[in-house]
Amino acid sequence: MINDLWYKNAVIYCLSVGTFMDANGDGIGDFQGLMRRLDYLHGLGVTAIWLMPFQPSPYRDDGYDISDYYGVNTRHGTLGDFVEFTHGAKQRGIRVIMDLVVNHTSDQHPWFQEARRDPNSKYRDWYVWSDKKPSHAKKGMVFPGVQKSTWSYDKEARAWYFHRFYDFQPDLNTSNPHVQAEILKIMGFWIQQGVVGFRMEAVPFVISTKGPQVKKPVEQYDMLRSLREFLQWRAGDSIILAEANVLPETDMEYFGEDGDRMHMMFNFQVNQNLFYALAASDCRPLVQALKATKPRPATAQWGLFLRNHDELDLGRLTEEQRQRVFECFGPEKEMQLYERGIRRRLAPMLNGDRRRIELAYSLMFSLPGTPVVRYGDEIGMGDDLKLPERNCARTPMQWSTEPHAGFTKSAKPILPVISEGPYGYQHVNAAEQRRDPNSLLNWTERIIRMRKEVPGGRLGRL
Ligand code: GLC
Ligand code: CA
């Protein structure tokens, strides 16, 4: 029975359509390009793809500022292309999950536009307002150093609105039943287009109480149950993978005592302590983190990762531990971000040292949980610290030695391809690594196969 739970036996690969493969030569990755690369992913052995946001968006936060939940951004293709893609993935036995970004919308979303224009609009209460500037407006920022506050004044609405993230991402009032119903509708819509689940972003914030009077937000965990229930009714095998960087004490609130809330959560505890272990050659805190995150219902599963599209968040380590990781993996100020993390890619952090990269991956692939690989890490891609904030580690996939790494035929790709230094595409690209049996790419393919063959890993009970 437990073998039916595909997500326990999955190898997830996360990618952003916009920087993966451009088929029509306009410099922006698209679904047709991604479709051409499905055989590459299949060959690598990944069994699920997690797509970063691809819906219409002003792209001020790399698509995490959505202005229409029910569409595909024309720069990536059409809804038709999307369904062709999910079908193509399915034919190869690859499942597709996608980001569910419902803590906030873009300020350009018609709901927010109407809410700010008309106080009597039904959408007014879809957001979180205050007549006066709340006293705690300068608290609780997720991007300290860049984001100045969590409340901003909107001239048109003549009121202050709440935004946990950037000011162009007004928070949805998630305790409003209409907003809750809309979230289910969004999930239901994409399930019909062929996805089998969601990576739900910022879950603790989505389920928190929000408002000018709320000094200490309280999580409404029961909301998670209704999301799960709905999803399971619509499609029994679909899942939610929660982004929730929380303390082990609250893990069970997210999984649910009876396993009736989130199917999966990213293991941020293990992630941070794993980097500490690599930096300090001290695995005791990692062992502790593994023990602390052990209790969970039989159907629940951890998502394990090394690097993702955000900064490596070290906020849960002690000050001393964090400094140790900074010293070792991100000593320069420009490598650090938001007063708590490192924004580099994996390979440069490990000095491009093959043995250390293999050690890090061997750990990830053998610890209890489902591995989540970031695109480009299978070939050891680097970063471009000239790009702002997290964009440095979001550069286009390096396919070959052709101009722009074979990512695009355009003169100007959406983000510059890394073309200088040891991580330039002339040295690091998929085509050359395919031909070399000892390349990192082929090593990754082999470890993925090994992982699938070890049943203990499957069940996350090592
Ligand atoms: C999530 C995403 C991050 C994004 C943020 C705001 O945490 O991982 O990339 O900036 O949500 O939407
Ligand atoms: Ca394109």
Secondary structure of residue 301 in the 3-state scheme: strand
pLDDT the model gives residue 462: 43
In the reported structure, the alpha carbon of residue 431 is separated from the centroid of ligand 2 by a whole-number distance in angstroms of: 21
| Residue of 385, 372, 114 whose CA lies nearest to 266 | 372
Residue nearest to ligand 1 atom 3, measured at CA: 310
pLDDT the model gives residue 461: 53
CATH architecture entry for 2-102+180-458:
Alpha-Beta Barrel (3.20)
Return the best residue to mutate from 59, 61, 200 for the ligand 1 pocket (most ligand atoms within 8 A of CB): 61
- Which H or E run includes 312? strand 312-313
Taking the CA of residue 104 as reference, the ligand 1 atom at the shortest distance is: 12
Considering every ligand atom shown, identify the ligand nearest to the alpha carbon of residue 268 and give its number. Answer: 1
Taking the CA of residue 65 as reference, the ligand 1 atom at the shortest distance is: 12
Residue 177 buriedness (CB in 10 A; 0-12 / 13-18 / 19+):
exposed
Considering every ligand atom shown, identify the ligand nearest to the alpha carbon of residue 146 and give its number. Answer: 1
Spatial contact of 45 and 9, defined as CB atoms under 8 Å apart: no
pLDDT the model gives residue 457: 53
Render pLDDT for 72-129 as a digit per residue (tens, 0 to 9). Answer: 999 999 999 999 999 999 999 999 999 999 999 999 999 999 999 999 999 999 999 9
pLDDT the model gives residue 106: 98
What's the rounded Cα separation, in Å, for the pair 323 and 225? 38
Retrieve residue 336's tokens: 């650090």
What's the rounded Cα separation, in Å, for the pair 255 and 133? 36
Please list, in sequence order, all residues whose beta carbon lies within 8 angstroms of the beta carbon of residue 35, skipping any fewer than 6 positions away: 23, 81, 84, 85, 88
Residues framing ligand 1 (Cβ under 6 A): 61, 64, 101, 165, 201-202, 243, 309-310
Backbone angles phi, psi at 130, to 5 degrees: -150, 140
At 8, which amino acid appears?
K
Residues lining ion ligand 2 (Cβ < 5 A) are 22, 24, 26, 28, 30
Q: Answer positive or negative: Cα dihedral of 58, 59, 63, 64.
A: negative
- Which H or E run includes 36? helix 31-36
Report the largest interatomic distance among the alpha carbons of the chain, rounded to a whole angstrom.
Answer: 65
Spatial contact of 241 and 264, defined as CB atoms under 8 Å apart: yes
Retrieve residue 113's tokens: 């536009």
110-162: CATH number: 3.90.400.10
Question: Which residue ranges make up each domain of the chain?
Answer: 2-102+180-458, 110-162
The DSSP string of 185-204 is HHHHHHHHTT--EEEETTHH
Using 70 as the pLDDT threshold, list the residues of the chain that sit under it.
1, 455-462
Residue 142 buriedness (CB in 10 A; 0-12 / 13-18 / 19+):
middle
Angle at 280 (CA atoms; ends 278, 285), nearest 5 degrees: 80
DSSP 8: G
Q: In the block, which residue shows the tokens 């047709």?
A: 32
Spatial contact of 392 and 344, defined as CB atoms under 8 Å apart: yes
pLDDT the model gives residue 30: 98
